[in-house]
Structure 1
């Protein structure tokens, strides 16, 4: 029979042992996985992955909340800069997540709607804070990360009734940013005779990105998907500057390739500073470039002109965005570009499919997204 003294000693010892063996969480978030091994995704970046955040920004020219954008999307125009689904939507389906990732800025993105992730991306934004300001109000990558830390993470802890860095360990953190830092920053400054060399600018850009990745890591991120910069010199808006030339503008593509090379090197170097993390680079540059060089092999017919009617710079437009209510091509799957810059859903399908399942290191490095999710 246990004496009253033994019971008393047992009771008073519990707080003592708790000091040395604290409970990390009241929920086992590591063992709860949906889809192909992850609970969801948190998305950061530019218009290539924005799914409606810019809809809620005042004084911003970077919006896609009107037709013909979303002409092939189930609910119509949603703020996605393409005719249908973007890469994030398609990866969501590949991972068998229960629903599309909601935009952070939407008033309904709260409660149980954030359990499977949130999209923070903002069209025209970049890695650097001053990128994209030419179009008005945007949400920089630093601010997107701040929104995750100060708003969403706190809400998720409350919703999951769990605290600690393990809470988001089974989410993918997708970062698709960098292209605008060249298009809407570096090359604009170069036209004003900026003294910064391309190499110096790129080194600063990748350094800034590494610091942002470390910030996410310190908040609990462990699985990263980094999107490369697309072939900037092949976009219709850039080709319009030199219509007499045939093929892509090599100077712009060389800038993208330089960044992508450093991004791949970053994956190996930063992993040592972030123990327990795994990073994947999706080389959308090569995937799109391969399509452009041999469009017929993938069922495409037009690799240089936009599918929708854009207002050229000569007529007061930006040469990028679709004209509101303007004409649109009939067979969107035959076009590589939907507007002056952004790919069609058909190209996004190619990128997402290869990101998820390709075993070619030239397309996805060092492993694919499916393998990453299973880790």
Structure 2
């Protein structure tokens, strides 16, 4: 992931988060998309979440909720929820949409999604003017105390590059270069600022996706250094959640995980009209959810999200959080 926050003259307190990205950070926006097939608003999703199924693609809290816990923030409301207006936005807003990606055409196979570009427009054209009116000040005065989080990238490979016949003549290297360029342009041309970019894959043993993840991660880490001169008012952090998950799988026993490959929930098969990824509605679910790495066919359990958020906030290893962790960023 890449994280950033505007700097200069703040009191070392992060007052909120604006979240952009895909299903790993979506907290319910797709619930409000009638034509989207990428939804998690039904049991067993949310079986361990305080409010039950909410649209989070896991059994409990997602990584944004847990990062918010580290920063002593309340749950961040979903933009698509009609009640997310006025004072409810004071601690930030979540714009993420499951199945979306960096590219506008990513995720269209899942029906209706909110692209990263549209998520950014929602922030700029809807939330920002309302917050300026609510707080009685210009955005440059209050945004310096907010963290911007962008968790995206994986779907551009899973639901775009590796599925579309039109990409057969495009090398993985060329596609990744274009993907990184698109992200760099989206971030550097924003009048506000950015933040957390999710690495490409989820850690499962798929050679093609693993190769894509390694390549994308290398580009993202380089992007942090390359884009900094274009964004002098912001600090960026790259959090390599892909590596964190792979390390969990390698050291699964010592970390308390017994199952690193099977989904905890009963996944809806293609034969049953499912997509082979999401949990079957009202399907069976494992009892020892804390011992599973994956909750469904793609998304990690809350237990894994806890470790990712903890590493993002506290890790002293630059291979996990570069060039600093979020705690250091908040105090910088």
- TM-score of the superposition, structure 2-length normalised? 0.95
Structure 1 counterpart of 2:29: 53
Q: Counterparts of 2:268 and 2:147 in 1: how far apart (Å)? A: 37
Higher mean alpha-carbon deviation, 306-315 vs 266-275, is at 306-315
Aligned partner of 2:84 in structure 1 is 109
What is the Cα deviation at residue 166 of structure 1?
3.0
* Contact kept in structure 2, 1:230 and 1:284, CA below 8 Å: no
Contact 1:30/1:166, CA 8 A, preserved across alignment = no
Shift of 1:31: 6.5
* Paired position in structure 2 for 1:204: 178
Secondary structure class of the residue paired with 1:43: strand
Aligned length: 326
Q: Report what 2:3 is aligned to.
A: none
Q: Say whether 1:302 aligns with 2:263.
A: no
User: Which stretch shows the higher mean deviation, 305-314 or 261-270?
Assistant: 305-314
Indicate the residue corresponding to 1:133 in structure 2: 108
Q: Which structure has the larger Rg?
A: 1
Segments of structure 2 that go 5 or more residues without pairing to the other structure are 1-6
CA contact (8 A) 2:315 2:325 kept: yes
Divergent runs of 4+, >3 A: 29-33
Matched, 1:162 2:137: yes
| Residue of structure 1 equivalent to 2:324 | 367
Tell me by how many angstroms 1:229 deviates.
Answer: 2.4
Cα 1:100/1:224, change in 2 over 3 Å: same
Residues 1:86 and 2:62 are matched in the alignment: yes
3-state SS of 2:211 partner: helix
Partner of 2:235: 278
- Name the counterpart of 1:325: 282
| Corresponding residue for residue 20 of structure 1 | none
- Which digits, 9 at most, give the CA deviation of each residue in 1:298-357, with x for residues without a partner? 100000010000122244321111011000000100000000000000000000000000
CA RMSD of aligned residues (A): 1.6
Residue of structure 1 in register with 2:244 after alignment: 287
Matched, 1:120 2:95: yes
1:174 aligns with 2:149: yes
Q: For 1:342-361, list aligned pairs within 5 A.
A: 342-361=299-318
8 Å Cα contact 1:102-1:114 kept in structure 2: yes
2:45 alignment partner in structure 1 = 69
Superposition TM-score, scaled by structure 1 size:
0.84
SS at match of 1:148: helix
Q: Is the 2:201–2:209 contact (alpha carbons within 8 Å) kept by the matching residues of 1?
A: no
Select the structure with the greater relative contact order (CA < 8 A; seq sep ≥ 6).
2
- Provide the rounded CA distance (Å) in 2 between the counterparts of 1:311 and 1:275: 47
1:9 corresponds to? none
Q: CA deviation at 1:57?
A: 0.5
